[in-house]
Amino acid sequence: MNRLEGKVTLITGAASGFGRSMAKIFSEEGAKIFAIDINEKVEELKNEINGELYTFVADVTNPEQITAAFDECKKVYGKLDVLCNNAGMTGVVETPLHEVSLENFDNVMNLNVRGAFKVLQEAVKMMLENGGGSIVNTGSIGGYLATPGSAPYIISKGAMVMLTKQAALEYAREGIRVNSINPGTAKTPLLDKFSQETLDFLANQVPIGRLAEPEEIARVALFLASDESSYITGQDHIIDGGRSTE
């Protein structure tokens, strides 16, 4: 199937984790990928993707760099059909809320909330020019379930829930759909700071009995990006192996 044939798709946080899987899977479905990451390893996608791909190194916490990235996307492809608003960070882990520094809190908010907000703004501007599009925000089960020791991340993902709903409501009649994917714990570099004991604890919390693979999350994003989900907007899709059902 070519569910995204010819659709220009901009992905932030594309060098690893969910973003990397999205870039590969979306490309297989015919999308033209504009891949953004602060890490120059995003260039490695050129060795892994056979379809149309343009890479751009940018810091999502820097508004000027975000604007430059979207200007470049418009220059290269002329339009934007899909946004995967995916860049994010965990911040401190295994740290009680009262011990979290404001510096760490601000760092997480600058990327996960402020940066995501600016990226969404720029995407909406481009989509309004070409009659609509689909935005997929990467949230987290942490937007619904608190996790001891991860206060900045949990709070930031709670904000993503309402960013999704607010944007969906404002732009539904403009042909722009906005949804979110909210993974449980998955095997991505965001887990690098966690101890093995913590990872085992997290896996044991999942009814399915394991952590998610990035590809499993990316395929839900693919559905939401495609016309198969044409009547879905403003919804938060939880992909957590059943954890939130307990």
DSSP-assigned beta bridge partners for residue 56: 36
* Max Cα distance, the chain (Å): 50
Given a contact cutoff of 8 angstroms between Cβ atoms, the answer to whether 135 and 167 are in contact is: yes
From the candidates 54, 153, 171, 231, give the one annotated as an active-site residue: 153
- C-alpha separations of 184 from 71, 89, 144, 206 in Å: 33, 15, 10, 9
144 is catalytic: no
DSSP string, 69-101: HHHHHHHHHS---EEEE--------SB-GGG--
Catalytic (active-site) positions: 153
